[in-house]
Amino acid sequence: MAKNLPEKQVAALPYRREGKVLEVLLITSRETRRWVIPKGWPMKGKKDWNAAAIEAFEEAGIKGEVGRKSIGIYHYVKRRSSGDLDCEVVVYPFEVEKVLDEWPEKNERRRKWFAAARAAELVDEEGLQAIIGAALA
């Protein structure tokens, strides 16, 4: 029996420089409260990097400059009541320029800045750990 192809998602990897320290903004997932990066489904009529930037605003309350070139892909299993779904996430760099006090999912998530090395330790997905370590080292 053929295995289903993974569903594609897009994500923003939010970062900033504080002096010589590179920091990554992580948010909590709504269900399991794990540390993740803003991500979601591709949007009709939008380039993937623009969709990633929209997700960053909605989920993390940030605005900034999104890169048009992916910095990596990782896989994870999305847990759903209708059954688990294999997802492939295309990640775009997102340089944070503004952190907003109010945003659409403020009451559903926490957000916190971490040094890049610490952020890589806190996320569960090995592929995302590698992307953070390589792209932002």
| CATH number for the domain that contains residue 51 | 3.90.79.10
Please check whether residue 42 lies inside any domain of the structure: yes
Please check whether residue 2 lies inside any domain of the structure: no
Distance, CA of 76 to chain centre: 12
Determine the longest span between alpha carbons in the chain, in angstroms: 53
Q: Identify the pLDDT of residue 3.
A: 57
Rounded mean pLDDT for each run of 10 residues along the chain, 137 residues in total: 76 93 94 94 97 98 97 90 90 97 96 95 95 78
Q: Identify the pLDDT of residue 1.
A: 39
Torsion from C-alpha of 112, 114, 124, 29, nearest 10 degrees: 10
Please check whether residue 21 lies inside any domain of the structure: yes
Please check whether residue 122 lies inside any domain of the structure: yes
Nearest CA-CA partner of 128 in 35, 52, 2? 35
Overall number of domains in the chain: 1
Please check whether residue 14 lies inside any domain of the structure: yes
Domain encompassing residue 122 = 7-135
Token pair, residue 86, equals 């294999």
